[in-house]
Each structure stands twice: as C-alpha cells, then as structure tokens.
A and B are shown apart, each in its own frame.
Chain A
Amino acid sequence: MAQQLPILLVVAPLMAAFLVPIVGWWNKRLCYPLAVAALAAPLVCTLGILKQVMAGGGFSYHLGGWSPPWGIEYALDYLNSFVLVIISIVSFIVTIYSKESVRSELPDKITPFYTLLLLMVTGLLGMTVSGDAFNVFVFLEISSLSCYGLIAIGSDGAPFATFRYIIMGTIGASFYLLGVGYLYLVTGTLNMADLARLLPQLYASRVVLTAGIFLLVGIGIKMALFPLHAWLPGAYTYAPSTVSAMVAPLYTKVAAYLLIRIMFTVFQPAFFIEVIPATTLLSWLAAIAMLVGSIYAIAQSDLKRMLSYSVVAQIGYIALGIGLANRLGLSGALLHILNEAFTKGCVFLVAGAIVFKLKSCRLENFNNLYRKMPFTMSAFTIGTFSMIGIPPTSGFFSKLYLLLGSVAAGNWIFVAVLLVSTLLNVVYFFRVIQLASFEKPMPDYARITPYETVAMDEVPLSMQIPIQLMAAGILLSGIFSSRILSAVIVHIIPKSFTP
C-alpha cells in the first residue's frame, strides 16, 4: 500500500472528477462532500510520502511496472514531496470553504464547478509528482484547461480575461513542449533523471541551449514572471472567489517548482549559471517584478485586483531566490512558496468572505468591516502581516532568507529592492486595514453625535474555519520555519551551491 501512494494521490481526485457529474445529476448536494473526500485522499497520501521520503530519502514509482527510462516514472524526493504537501493542504482547506461561497456565487453551476476543481488539483498534483518531462506537459495542460473553465464562469470581465489567459497559457505550454522536444532530439529520452544523466556532455550543443531557453520562457509565462504576467491580474480578479483562492496560492507556485526542477535537477545548476546567464536575468526580472507588482497594487481600488497584482510581486520574491542560486537564496524561495500558499490562500479566502457579505470587493465599501466581521478580518490582519514580513509570521522568515541570500551574493541593489518592496507592501495593506477599521477614511473632528453601533455579521462556520486554518498555517509555518528548514529544505538545495 505504501508503495502505491504516488499514484493514488493522482487517481483519487481524477476518478472523483468523473464521479461528480454522475452524482450531481442525481443530487447536487452530494458534490461538495464527494469533492472534500476526494481531496482528503491526496492529503493523506502526500503526508505519507513526505514521511517516507524523510525516513529513507527519495523513491520512485513505475507506472504499469515499466521501468524507466521507457516507462513513466513518478520520482519522489524532498523537493516535490514538500510541494505536494503544500498543494494538498491548501486545496483541501479551500474546498471545505467552497460550500457557501459557490452556493451564493454560482448557484446553478455547482456540478461543473466541482468537476473542474478536482481536475485542476489532479493536474497540479500530477505536475509535481511526475518524473517524466512529457507527462508533466500533459498534467500542465489538464490543470490549465480546467483552470480556464473555472475562471471563465466568473463575473463581468471573466470571459475576456480568460481569453487572454488561454492565448498566453497556450504559448507557454507550447514553448515547454518545444523545449522538451529539443531535449528529446539530442538525448532520446523524456525521463528527467535520465536527462540529468545525459545532458552534461551536451552543454556545448546549441540544441540544448535552445531547449533551455524555450523551457524557461514557457514556464515563465505559466509562472506569471514579469514581463510575462499580463494574463494574471484580470484572470484572478474576475474568477469566482473560491477559484481565486485555489489558483492564486497554488498555480504559479507549482510553475515555480517546475522552474526549480528544470534549472537545478534536469540541468545541472552550472548550465543556467555559467553557460547561459539565466539566473542573473531571472533575478533582475524578479527585482523589477517586486517593484512593478507592488506599485500597481497600490493603484487598485478593488481588493481582489490588488491581491492579484500582489501575486505578481510575490512571484518576484520566489524568482529572486531561484535566481540568486545560493543556499540562503534558494532556501528563502522554497520557504516563500510555503508562505505564499498559506498567505495568499488566507487573504483570498477573506476576499471571498467579503464578497459573500458585501457582494463586492471595492475598497470604498470597507468601512467598519473590523466591527462587522472581527474574526475574518483578524485572519486578514495575520495575512497582511505575513505579506509585509512581521515576525512570527512565515513571511518574515522567507524574506529574511532572501535578504541574507542577496547579501551573500553581494548584490546590494537586491537588498534595497527587497526593503523598498516591503515598504510598498505596507502602503497598500495598511490602507485596507485603515479603511476597514473606521467608519470614514479620515477622522471627522466636527462630529458631536456618538458613533453608531455596528452589528456583528460574520460568515458561516464552513467559511470561517478554513480562513482560521489558513491563518494558523501562516503562524505555524513561521514558528516552525527553522525545523522545516533543517528537516526538508536543506536536502533540496543542490550540493554545488555556496552559502
């Protein structure tokens, strides 16, 4: 049984995705418990896998008993079991939350919603677990296609934003496919471990160079790395709240995982550092992304759109950590993947709760929100603290490691950019907190009458518990960050890296 965990975690949500339409045709109310049960299975599997990896190092699962490099291999190591646990926890929590939110936003589309949601999580899990470059493409497209569908059922500008996303996403996936094709052309294999073995002799080849560039650009689009981020803000803003809360913490982070996998496992780190200076380019683009994303976020008057631009900025942090290519920087990037999953999950769930109560996310309607929804908004405060990087939230630790990594790389411009972008984060998040704390944005000194009392109007428990779980996740991953670092992340860093 323990050997079958890698395949079970993909098969369970996939099969449930096909069961949901049948069950939903019979009784719509059964879709939700089925989806929650189907996503509890990967949670158990990934925790089992992480335990197994921590006990005895990596292991691999051969699909249909065909041994690699001929068959498809699911290769488990510290890197992907770490990301798998994040995916399964966040998707499970968000699915619990979905019940009331979907009922209020998409009352007549419950069945297709859960089908697509399960397919998307299948794709994300599959992308992470697979050790076969082409198999990753297939799962990438499974998750992207269901993601297009999920975003398109949103309100207002959703279809148009989805259209842009489809065009950009298809170019990204196609570039990835081309890159894999070029690698196959020179090595004759698609298995990642086999590619890693065969490629070092071919680093002088121009085909491998082209492949590397295609892979980087393709994944860069999927990751929404500046300047390839244009599809993201619209798509995440207009998507239904549950979808934003599922896609924003996970989708771009899984793409970031894929980038780490390609750059440091399939290729030797030396290739992207020395043969083509991709890491330098990546970290400069990341620095621009952190500033541009934050500045755009300040200019927004809609919470969800503001958070979407914040995703662009936060992807910059992860890309910076990858681009620094030293031990501290990559630790920071990996911690930031964990931190972002919980933090973005938390704040997007709160945005969903606000949409649930206020029917919109415009900042001008936020007055007295702290008194209306004290529990939800306190979770939001924890989320914003983590965004800004105030201890003991996890945001502080990931930013600390990124800062130390920049110092170790001797690049003081990145240190300055990190600090400035933190200040910009303070500007746009404290504006929300200020608007939500008071009745009016500015104090009214001429006022004589006492402030009217505001009745508490909280969201239902099935939304409240997931929000609080996410907030607890932020705090716990911050408090135990050194243990996560020493137990898991240390083993992910390539051996050739300097501190």
Chain B
Amino acid sequence: METLISTFISKYNYWGYIILMMIGLYAMMVKNNLVKKIIGMNIFQTAIILFYISIGAKKGASIPIITHAFNAAPVSIHPAGYINPLPHVLMLTAIVVAVATLGVALAVIVIIYQRYETLELDEILKIRKETG
C-alpha cells in the first residue's frame, strides 16, 4: 500500500497527464456540443504537452545554460544538474500545431453554424437526415 501511494505521489505529473488525457478523450467522444468537443481536443493535446514537459524535468536541476566565458578554462558539467531542454523545444512546435488545429476547427465550426444555425450534434444530424 505504501509503495502504491508513493508511486502516486512521486509521479503525480504523469497521473495528471493521464487524467487530463482521459478528460479530453471523454469530451471529444461524448459531448453533444461541437465547441465542447473542441475544448476536449485542446485538453487532450495539452495533456501530451504536459507529458513531454515531465520527461525533461529533473528534481533540483537548473536551466541548461552553461555560464563560463569563451576561451575560459574548461569546466566539467554534470548532466544531472541540468534539465533536458529537447522535449521542451519539441513542445514549442506541438503548441503551435495545437493552436493551428484549434484555429482550423473553430473556423470550420463557424461555417457549420452558418449552414445549420446550431452547434448541437444531434440537431445537425437531424437536419442532415431531413435534407438528405
């Protein structure tokens, strides 16, 4: 039991990522309102960003900038003292992708609203069935 609790507490960021991802997936699948689906999609993508950020983070480490002058005597660097910047850099790209996806999705929703005058999934399906 103790080990279970310590797993929960020591890896709380990963649990957070899984919970966020499930909330996002749930909203995408179950919600009836298209805007809520998109909010779910965004939560889903944010969860993955949290996951990547967690990979790079280390306890007690500093930002990966080496402060020693050009041509100065070489200093030894311990990787444990610095966080891993690569996943964070990757997430800059993923954030841009998420923003772009959100933008496209909202633009599509605007056209859907102009066409059907509703954003409820069941009502749109009903209208589409009636018009063939």
Contacts and interface: CB of A to CB of B under 8 A. Distances in A.
Contacts of B101: 141, 145, 166, 170
B115 interface: yes
Interface in A177-229: 177-178, 181, 184-185
B28 A167 contact: yes
A145 B106 CA distance: 13
B94 interface: yes
Interface residues of A, number: 24
A138 B55 CA distance: 19
Interface stretch (A96-104, A156-164, A395-403, A442-450): A156-164
A148 interface: yes
Given A159-B111, A178-B51, 18 more contacts: A134-B90, A137-B94, A141-B100, A145-B101, A148-B108, A152-B104, A152-B108, A159-B108, A159-B115, A162-B108, A163-B34, A166-B101, A166-B108, A170-B45, A174-B48, A177-B94, A178-B48, A185-B55
B104 A174 contact: no
Interface string A130-167: 00001001100100010011001000010110110011
Interface in B71-115: 87, 90, 93-94, 97, 100-101, 104-105, 107-109, 111-112, 115
B87 A145 contact: no
Contacts of B28: 167, 171
Contacts of A177: 48, 94
Nearest to B45: A174
Contacts of A148: 104, 108
B41 A167 contact: yes
A163 B112 contact: yes
Interface residues of chain A: helix, strand, loop or mixed (majority): helix
Contacts of A152: 104, 107-108, 111
A157 B128 contact: yes
Contact of B93 (A138, A157, A160, A167): A138
A138 B94 CA distance: 8
Contact of B41 (A157, A160, A170, A184): A170
Contacts of A157: 128
Contacts of B115: 159-160
11 contacts: A141-B97, A145-B97, A152-B104, A160-B128, A162-B108, A163-B105, A166-B105, A167-B37, A170-B44, A181-B48, A181-B51
Contact of A138 (B51, B97, B107): B97
B23 interface: no
Interface string B13-47: 00000000000010010000010010001001100
Contacts of B37: 167
B85 to A, nearest CB: 12
B108 A181 contact: no
B57 interface: no
Which 3 residue pairs are nearest across A and B when measured between Cβ atoms? A159-B111, A141-B97, A159-B112
A174 B20 CA distance: 14
A137 to B, nearest CB: 8
B18 to A, nearest CB: 11
Nearest to A148: B104
A120 to B, nearest CB: 13
Contacts of A162: 108
A181 B94 CA distance: 12
Nearest to B97: A141
A174 B49 CA distance: 10
A178 B21 CA distance: 11
Contacts of A174: 44-45, 48
A181 B111 contact: no
A185 B17 CA distance: 15
Contacts of B97: 138, 141, 145, 173
| Residue of A152, A157, A166 with most partner-chain B CB within 10 A | A166
Contacts of B41: 166-167, 170
Nearest to A180: B90
Contacts of A166: 41, 101, 104-105, 108
Contacts of B116: 160
B42 to A, nearest CB: 9
Given A159-B115, A171-B28, A177-B94, A184 B48 contact: no
Contacts of A149: 104
A160 to B, nearest CB: 6
Contacts of B55: 181, 184-185
Contacts of B111: 152, 159
B1 to A, nearest CB: 22
A73 to B, nearest CB: 15
B8 to A, nearest CB: 18
B52 A181 contact: yes
B88 to A, nearest CB: 12
B48 A145 contact: no
A181 B14 CA distance: 13
B100 A145 contact: yes
A160 B124 contact: yes
